[in-house]
């Protein structure tokens, strides 16, 4: 813990965090990845979608969870209850649904026609008498623990989850009350890249890259004259999860197309102006420290979700491992639903901006992964401003069981402060 | 000659090729265009954007007539093209992950 200057390293001081470099093994080691699979992704609550994706009884979607070696089928049954199952036929293990989403009375395995209800019950087996003492009541789809938070559907693949979803969410559980329910999905971007999944988690919770990676696009919206390195005005490290707030330069004069968007838009704070920089009425998780010059926040939810939460706009991004150096990103943009042409045009401003900015964010990651694999470096340096990255790795180590036995230092320090 | 837009916007007929019905298609148009072509489109539509919005705004989005829908697509393409003109100074970001490796699904009402 040497070299800490309380006047400079305010966050490290506040949260009593380590200053040690981060080992590179965790991005390239097959053994570390195996531990992540077994101890993190097969044990954690994983966010797979939103309630409104399966609004009516019979609606379903499938989410492949390659990192846990399975595919999950989420249904809304005839009673309106949301259920989750391994998408695996109990006969000879074919996928029951090859459709990504849809509406169905039930599911017929395309291999031999075994048929399941929306509640997972095995309803019909062709030529059933040819089997030997088959008990259909014991051969329903294998259920998975499922729980809801603010309209999001989470599953836990563990047979006996260590905590319920509320316990897993911890302090943030009650901080977003109603925030997401007013927003509507307007765009999805997805892509695969040859990187470890954690590189995306890292780049998503620091502002330090902003004035470089985004120098041609959006840096000037956020970097005030007295904050050229985009230092973060709020960093909150919770027991398991974390948030940071991104500042806004409210003195900046909008460009013509931005002005049009602000004039007719629905008050998105990714496009901050003095008039739109309002936190009133937002739940406590949004701009949690009520920063005056505020643009938006980033919530990093273990293990693999990133939310960019602003006024009237939210991006939800999942970083899904496909292998130690292969990742699928699923990015969804939610906005206040556009009701008029003007609002629709403004939604386009946000969607096209985010698309370009996310492309800039991830452009660094494949070259970084190749460099990490080269063996030229064994560790990475992380600054006080990158403390949320450090916290992510600390919690991950704790989940895997390789951390030192003082897992709640950060939380205790924060509460004491 | 086919009229793509409502009568009040026939001055924009020359840019009907930008009035594409998906964000992905509009993006590809931007990325595949020269800066000169993007600027010509931007310059022609910029002084008309307020009029386009005023014209379309009273009409329910889900009930737009075909030529009105194309006019909305033109306005959406202008928002994308404006980023190239007003922010980037180029058709694409200077350092960006390959656009053709992105899958874009547009779920907003059109």
- Complex ipTM: 0.95
Residue A407 pLDDT exceeds 60 = no
pLDDT computed for residue A412 by the predictor: 44
> What's the first-to-final CA gap in chain B, in angstroms?
25
Write out pLDDT tens, residues A92-147. 999 999 999 999 999 999 999 999 999 999 999 999 999 999 999 999 999 999 99
- Please tell me which residue of chain A has the smallest CA distance to B73: A345
Whether pLDDT at B1 is above 80: no
Residue of B59, B61, B87 with shortest CB distance to A217: B87
Query: How high is the pLDDT of residue A403?
Result: 61
Tokens of A24: 């590179």
Instruction: Say what the pLDDT of residue A106 is.
Output: 97
Q: Which contiguous run of DSSP H or E holds residue B31?
A: helix B23-31
Question: Which residue from A190, A213, A257 is facing B82, i.e. has the nearest CB?
Answer: A257
Cα–Cα dist A247/A385, whole Å:
13
Over residues A31-50, mean pLDDT: 97
Q: What is the pLDDT of residue A225?
A: 78
The larger pLDDT score, comparing residue A273 to residue A378, is at: A378
pLDDT in the model for residue A27:
98
**Which residue has tokens 């309380």?**
A6
Q: Is the pLDDT of residue A416 over 50?
A: no
Asked if the model's pLDDT at residue A318 lies above 90, the reply is yes
* Token code pair at residue A114: 């075994």
Higher per-residue confidence, A182 vs A112: A112
**Measured distance CA(A281)–CA(A271) in Å, rounded:** 18
**Residues of chain B that touch chain A, judged by Cβ-Cβ distance less than 8 Å:** 23, 27, 46, 49-50, 52-53, 56-57, 59, 61, 72, 75-76, 78-80, 82-83, 86-89, 93-97, 99, 101-110
Hey, are the CB atoms on B104 and A352 less than 8 Å from each other? no
Choose the closest CB to A216 out of B49, B79, B94.
Answer: B94
A·B CB contacts under 8 A: 128
Segment B71-84 shows an average pLDDT of 97
Question: In Å, how far from its chain's centre is CA A397?
Answer: 19
Contact criterion met (CB < 8 Å) for A186 and B107: yes
Q: Could you tell me which of A214, A241, A185 has the C-alpha nearest to residue A44?
A: A241
Instruction: Please judge whether A256 and B86 are an interchain contact, meaning their C-beta atoms are less than 8 angstroms apart.
Output: yes
Amino acid A409: pLDDT: 43
pLDDT tier at A410 (50, 70, 90 boundaries)? very low
Phi-psi region of B100 (alpha: psi -120 to 50; beta: other; left: phi over 0): alpha
pLDDT at A293: 87
Q: Any idea which residue has 């492949």 for tokens?
A: A64
A76: part of which helix (H) or strand (E)?
A: strand A70-76
pLDDT of residue A77 exceeding 90, the answer is yes
Predicted pLDDT of residue B103: 86
Q: What is the pLDDT of residue A275?
A: 66
Subunit contact B99:A256, Cβ cutoff 8 A: no
The pLDDT of residue A101: 96
Q: Smallest CA–CA separation between A61 and chain B, in Å? A: 16
Q: How far is B87 from chain A (nearest CA, A)?
A: 6
pLDDT higher for A350 or B71?
A: B71
Chain A residues in contact with B93 (beta carbon < 8 A) = 216-217, 356, 359-360
pLDDT in tens, A222-243: 777 788 888 999 999 999 999 9
Contacts of A345 in chain B (CB under 8 A): 49, 53, 72, 75-76, 79
User: pLDDT-based confidence at A405, cuts 50/70/90?
Assistant: very low
pTM comes to: 0.93
| Contact call for residues A223 and A210 (beta carbons, < 8 A) | yes
What digits encode the pLDDT tens for the residues A340-397? 999 999 889 888 989 999 999 999 999 999 999 999 999 999 999 999 999 999 999 9
d(CA A61, CA B12): 42
* A184-193 and B103-106 strand pairing: antiparallel
């Amino acid at each position: 813990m040497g070299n800490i200057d309380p006047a400079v390293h305010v966050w490290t001081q506040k949260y009593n965090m380590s200053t040690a470099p981060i080992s590179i093994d965790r991005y390239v080691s097959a053994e570390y990845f195996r531990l992540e699979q077994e101890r993190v992704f097969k044990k954690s609550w994983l966010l797979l979608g939103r309630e409104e994706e399966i609004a009516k009884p019979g609606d379903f979607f499938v989410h492949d969870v390659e990192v846990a070696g399975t595919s999950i089928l989420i249904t809304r049954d005839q009673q309106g209850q949301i259920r989750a199952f391994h998408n695996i036929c109990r006969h000879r293990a074919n996928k029951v649904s090859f459709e990504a989403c849809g509406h169905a009375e039930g599911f017929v395995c395309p291999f031999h026609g075994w048929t399941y209800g929306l509640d997972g019950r095995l309803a019909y087996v062709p030529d059933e008498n040819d089997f030997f003492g088959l008990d259909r009541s014991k051969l329903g789809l294998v259920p998975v623990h499922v729980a809801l938070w603010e309209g999001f559907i989470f599953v836990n693949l563990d047979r006996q989850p260590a905590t319920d979803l509320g316990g897993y969410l911890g302090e943030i559980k009650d901080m977003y009350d109603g925030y997401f329910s007013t927003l509507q999905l307007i765009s999805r971007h997805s892509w695969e890249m040859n990187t470890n999944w954690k590189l995306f988690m890292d780049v998503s919770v620091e502002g330090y890259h902003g004035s470089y990676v985004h120098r041609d696009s959006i840096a000037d919206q956020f970097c005030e004259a007295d904050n050229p390195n985009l230092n973060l005005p709020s960093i909150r490290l919770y027991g398991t999860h974390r948030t940071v707030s991104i500042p806004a330069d409210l003195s900046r004069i909008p460009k013509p197309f931005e002005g049009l968007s602000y004039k007719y838009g629905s008050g998105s704070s990714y496009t901050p102006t003095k008039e739109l920089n309002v936190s009133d009425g937002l739940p406590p998780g949004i701009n949690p420290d009520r920063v005056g010059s505020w643009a938006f926040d980033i919530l990093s939810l273990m293990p693999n979700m990133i939310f960019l939460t602003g006024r009237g706009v939210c991006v939800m991004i999942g970083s899904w491992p496909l292998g130690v150096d292969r990742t699928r990103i699923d990015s969804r943009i939610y906005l206040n639903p556009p009701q008029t042409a003007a609002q629709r045009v403004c939604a386009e401003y946000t969607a096209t901006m985010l698309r370009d900015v996310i492309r800039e964010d991830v452009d660094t990651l494949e070259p970084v992964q190749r460099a990490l694999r080269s063996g030229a470096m064994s560790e990475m340096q992380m600054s006080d401003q990158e403390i949320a990255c450090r916290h992510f790795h600390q919690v991950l180590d704790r989940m895997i069981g390789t951390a030192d036995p003082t897992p709640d230092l950060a939380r205790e320090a924060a509460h004491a402060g | 000659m086919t009229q793509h837009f409502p009568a009040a916007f026939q001055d924009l007929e020359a840019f009907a090729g930008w009035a594409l019905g998906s964000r992905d298609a509009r993006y590809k148009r931007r990325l595949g265009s020269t800066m000169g072509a993007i600027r010509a489109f931007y310059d022609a539509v910029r002084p008309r954007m307020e009029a386009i919005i005023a014209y379309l705004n009273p009409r329910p989005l889900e009930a737009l007539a075909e030529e009105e829908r194309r006019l909305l697509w033109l306005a959406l393409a202008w928002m994308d093209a404006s980023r190239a003109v007003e922010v980037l100074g180029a058709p694409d970001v200077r350092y960006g992950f390959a656009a053709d490796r992105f899958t874009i699904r547009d779920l907003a009402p059109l």
